[in-house]
Structure 1
Amino acid sequence: MADSSKKMSLMGLTTLVTVNMMGSGIIMLPTNMAQLGAVSLLSWIFTAIGSMAIAYCFAQCGIFCPRSGGLSAYTEEAHGKSGFFICSYLYFLSLAIANVAVAISAVGYMTSFVPWFGTGAVPLFVGTVGLIWLTIVANFGGPGITGKIGAITVWGVIIPVAGLSVFGWFWFKSDVLIAAWNPNNLAVSEAIGKAIPLTLWAFLGMESAAQASDAVDDPKRNVPLACLFGTLGAAVVYVLSTTVIQGIIPNAELANSSAPFALVYAQMFNPTVGKIIMALAVMACIGSLLGWQFTLAQTAKMTADQGLFLKLFSKVNAVNAPIVGMIACGVLQTAMALSTISPDASAQFSKLVSLAAVTNLIPYVTALTGLLVIMYKAGVSPAIYTRNTVVLLIAVAYSLYALYACGKDAVFGGALVLTFGYLLYGFLARRFVNEAPALTARAGNP
């Protein structure tokens, strides 16, 4: 029996989940939410509840289905091999889109150091693509280096954002928040709906929370609790930081900022502090992008190992880095950056976030429904089955609402890539037929 003292405690796992989720997802959100007004802060309530329900269900999937493959494996339990492919394919695209959005966030913060990046669509594109390829090449050294860099750089965003949540209230002015409440005179339901893709963006990645169950003490108890507490912890920091910033920076100024957290620290202290925060944010974005580039390549490799992606994604070098696959991913991300090119970092970021949310939410739903079959196979007690099903229905209800909130353009784009995915699987499906048809049937004989 393993020594439980050497395993991760509930507190340690909760901290890990919170840190993993925060990454770089928050740093552009205040600008995009300010464009809707402070009324958009209400969307955090729905997203926090929905995200905790989703995270809990994925934790349950990990406990009762300890096979490799993550979301795709859970999906296959209910939807077969085609489900595995579609889930991997959409999740892969979602990560690629998200990587472009993270790169844009970093370039937005870098404009203070390299003003040229903020002078038009082409400079923004050059900076974005440059960062994408820089982080891809940095991953050629293998997973060990990637993990060590990411563990350090993530604090570049956690420290400023968490710090603002605690200390920003000394500069908070209620009249600034009131003036920012609803500048566009939107219906509350409309404002919440428009903000859902933005707030959901900050929680994407919660699906990785259940992956550490083997290293956790009493995983059946601690993994679900850590998923809930970790997601709740991130939610508290997100809500406090985006609320306090709306009460410090006037809405019109915040809505047009390419580096909102740097802006608020510059106003709270001085421009030098603002530049330090900006440098930390750039560091965090680059570290986050480095990690997600590796995750993207590993997702492709895992799917290729199943015979569902091109074999080139399976090839690794001496340090276990799938270099050829990473280069292919880089070409795809470059094309995505080009197809969404814009002189406005915030506008391009918002467009990409909605599409990334759609292509992530569909795998969420397919994996969540897999829990029903997973529990049946595991023979769980009626009480556990009922409890998990109730939470699952909440998670799916939120996911469907979030899909609707992403807007017709993003959903239409998601539907197109989903349909194309089924075409791709059609060419692969014969690999998974248990036995070839009889010769007489092939010849057309009765």
Structure 2
Amino acid sequence: MDNGLEKRYGLLTAIAMVVGIVIGSGVFFKAEKVLTATGGNLSLGILAWLLGGLVMILCAYNFALMATKHEKVSGVVDYAEVLVGGRYAYFFAWFAAVIYFPAMTSVVAWVAARYFGVLMGWEIVGPQVMTLSGLFLVGSYVINALAPKLAGRLQVTTTAAKLIPLFLMAIFGSIFGLKNGILVENFTTTAVHTFTSKNPLFTAVVGTCFAYEGWICATSINAELKDAKKNLPLALIFGSAFVVLVYILYYIGLAGAVKNEVMMAGGETGARIAFETVFMQLGGTLLFIFVVISCLGTLNGLMMACTRAFYAMGVRDEGPRPQVFKVVDTVTKMPTNSALIGLMMAMLWLTYFYGANLAPKPWFGPFCFDSSELPIVTIYAMYIPIFVMQMKKEQELGFFYRVVVPALGVIASAFMVLAAIVSLRKAVLYYLILFAVLMGIGLLLKNYGHEEE
């Protein structure tokens, strides 16, 4: 299959996509939720981060094995096609294009604007933050659509920048907490004695899934990656393990900076309070600027995947008007039409996120849910058939790689789905209704416009 895309990215960019997309908004955005969900129980919170990280590592390792054998157009969609079939691959690609990538991208755009708003003293649901969210989406689209090589360099640069506040807080926050006793106190006492959820561990794990998500986006540049069969597995394995280590160290560093109840009460300013406690006001503000840069790096990586989502269908001559979306610009070597509709989908999901989660009065009644979490859980459910068929079809692999590793992937994915059902309850049902409607639209549009080719 001639995909028409240029081999422009190397191993460093692939690793930067895994680390840079995963590490970014989520670790700052969800640390407060994990702490609140566990009632300030630091050990239970760390267990949640470990379990969420284990799910990511097991799934990433399975896809790393697939990447050593299959190199086509769009990573995970390719694996779905080879192992499960073309029809399943189409629906996976449609889900990624209309729900997963744009929903994630829109939330991260808001998170980046939210933390910038904290620096400026704006309300996190005010007009300034929402306008800036849209501007961040458009800016990220422009860079990816018109200057994809610059987007790759930006991903590497922002990945390096975002590690600065995480490592500084991990090291100096822990030292600070050991010296003044806060870290030991936070480990030995619980901030509150009643949990915000009947299942605190599952609720916390579902919270971490947003912080850990994004690694799968690295597979979207499969066709543009030099020596993809070697470099993509390395990026997935090294990147995912590195992320888990950094997250846990950062979480412990936060616990050394301020008491758990202060962090929980701080809401959107909790991370800033921790940074300013350890590094004083000026240092805390400067480090918080790096947090905003970190979120923008995550947004850039997600937009890299979002702009290629409709192309993944078009190049297979599937989905609406494939002759439109498989076109690659002769100058930028980018699927410009696919990029544009990817931006439009992200804008729609940003509007939904505001109406469902931020508006003074929710717009969508019972169909209001957190679009930063439920689409992630759906994609884990969609991994399961791929792992099952991996066990059935990859006969040349040994028992461990053909049976044990995929089976662990199935268990990890099923655990994440169960955690979502137990912790989010009714929201899962209403989300699945919306999911079914959108997938039904995908079925109707599967062959739309093909007669015009």
The corresponding residue for 2:333 is 320
Task: Give the alignment partner of residue 391 of structure 2, picking from 349, 372, 395.
Answer: 372
- State the AA in 1 paired with 2:112: A
Q: CA deviation at 1:320?
A: 3.2
Task: Give the alignment partner of residue 358 of structure 2, picking from 342, 352, 361.
Answer: 342
The corresponding residue for 1:420 is 437
CA distance in structure 2 between the aligned counterparts of 1:223 and 1:71, rounded to whole angstroms: 12
Q: CA deviation at 1:272?
A: 0.7
The corresponding residue for 2:365 is none
- The structure, 1 or 2, with the larger RCO (C-alpha pairs under 8 Å, 6+ apart) is 1
Q: CA deviation at 1:192?
A: 0.9
Task: Give the alignment partner of residue 353 of structure 1, picking from 372, 387, 395.
Answer: 372
Q: Please say if residues 21 and 205 of structure 1, whose CA atoms lie closer than 8 Å, have aligned partners that are also in contact.
A: yes
**2:172 is equivalent to residue 162 of structure 1:** no
The corresponding residue for 2:106 is 100
TM-score by length of 1: 0.80
Unaligned segments of structure 1, at least 5 residues = 1-6, 434-446
TM-score by length of 2: 0.79
The residue correspondences of 1:88-167 to structure 2 (distance < 5 A) are 88-92=93-97, 93-118=99-124, 120-167=125-172
Q: CA deviation at 1:362?
A: 3.0
CA distance in structure 2 between the aligned counterparts of 1:218 and 1:430, rounded to whole angstroms: 31
Question: Structure 1 residues 302, 185: closer, same or farther in 2, change over 3 A?
Answer: same
CA distance in structure 1 between the aligned counterparts of 2:168 and 2:202, rounded to whole angstroms: 28
**2:197 is equivalent to residue 192 of structure 1:** no
- State the AA in 1 paired with 2:154: I
Q: Please say if residues 275 and 284 of structure 2, whose CA atoms lie closer than 8 Å, have aligned partners that are also in contact.
A: yes
Question: Structure 1 residues 181, 230: closer, same or farther in 2, change over 3 A?
Answer: farther
Q: Please say if residues 82 and 425 of structure 1, whose CA atoms lie closer than 8 Å, have aligned partners that are also in contact.
A: no
The corresponding residue for 2:33 is 32
Question: Structure 1 residues 231, 402: closer, same or farther in 2, change over 3 A?
Answer: farther
Deviating more after overlay: 277-286 vs 185-194: 185-194
- State the AA in 2 paired with 1:325: I
- State the AA in 2 paired with 1:261: A
Question: Structure 1 residues 242, 273: closer, same or farther in 2, change over 3 A?
Answer: same
**2:58 is equivalent to residue 50 of structure 1:** no
CA RMSD of aligned residues (A): 3.6
Deviating more after overlay: 177-186 vs 268-277: 177-186
How many pairs are equivalent?
A: 417
Q: Please say if residues 304 and 314 of structure 1, whose CA atoms lie closer than 8 Å, have aligned partners that are also in contact.
A: yes
Q: Please say if residues 91 and 363 of structure 1, whose CA atoms lie closer than 8 Å, have aligned partners that are also in contact.
A: no
Deviating more after overlay: 323-332 vs 281-290: 323-332
**2:281 is equivalent to residue 265 of structure 1:** no
The corresponding residue for 1:250 is 259
- State the AA in 2 paired with 1:101: V
CA distance in structure 2 between the aligned counterparts of 1:285 and 1:365, rounded to whole angstroms: 30
Q: CA deviation at 1:295?
A: 1.3
**2:83 is equivalent to residue 84 of structure 1:** no
Question: Structure 1 residues 86, 266: closer, same or farther in 2, change over 3 A?
Answer: same
The residue correspondences of 1:256-335 to structure 2 (distance < 5 A) are 256-306=266-316, 307-311=318-322, 312-317=324-329, 318-321=331-334, 322=336, 323-335=339-351
Q: CA deviation at 1:195?
A: 0.8
Q: Please say if residues 307 and 342 of structure 2, whose CA atoms lie closer than 8 Å, have aligned partners that are also in contact.
A: yes
Identity of aligned residues (%): 16
Q: CA deviation at 1:95?
A: 1.7
CA distance in structure 1 between the aligned counterparts of 2:446 and 2:96, rounded to whole angstroms: 19
Q: Please say if residues 8 and 215 of structure 1, whose CA atoms lie closer than 8 Å, have aligned partners that are also in contact.
A: yes
Q: CA deviation at 1:122?
A: 3.9
Question: Structure 1 residues 335, 236: closer, same or farther in 2, change over 3 A?
Answer: same
Task: Give the alignment partner of residue 403 of structure 2, picking from 382, 386, 394.
Answer: 386
The residue correspondences of 1:55-66 to structure 2 (distance < 5 A) are 55-66=60-71
Q: CA deviation at 1:130?
A: 2.9
Q: CA deviation at 1:266?
A: 0.9
The corresponding residue for 1:436 is none
Question: Structure 1 residues 98, 20: closer, same or farther in 2, change over 3 A?
Answer: closer
**2:424 is equivalent to residue 407 of structure 1:** yes
CA distance in structure 2 between the aligned counterparts of 1:424 and 1:16, rounded to whole angstroms: 31
User: Greater CA radius of gyration, 1 or 2?
Assistant: 1
Unaligned segments of structure 2, at least 5 residues = 1-8, 361-367
CA distance in structure 2 between the aligned counterparts of 1:66 and 1:292, rounded to whole angstroms: 21
Question: Structure 1 residues 388, 353: closer, same or farther in 2, change over 3 A?
Answer: same
SS at match of 1:111: helix
Q: CA deviation at 1:409?
A: 4.2
SS at match of 2:319: coil
**2:219 is equivalent to residue 202 of structure 1:** no
CA distance in structure 2 between the aligned counterparts of 1:270 and 1:350, rounded to whole angstroms: 37
SS at match of 1:28: helix
Q: CA deviation at 1:404?
A: 2.7
Deviations 1:269-315 (Å, cap 9, x if unpaired)? 21111111121111222232123123101012212332214545445
The corresponding residue for 2:5 is none
- State the AA in 2 paired with 1:329: M
Q: Please say if residues 100 and 333 of structure 1, whose CA atoms lie closer than 8 Å, have aligned partners that are also in contact.
A: yes
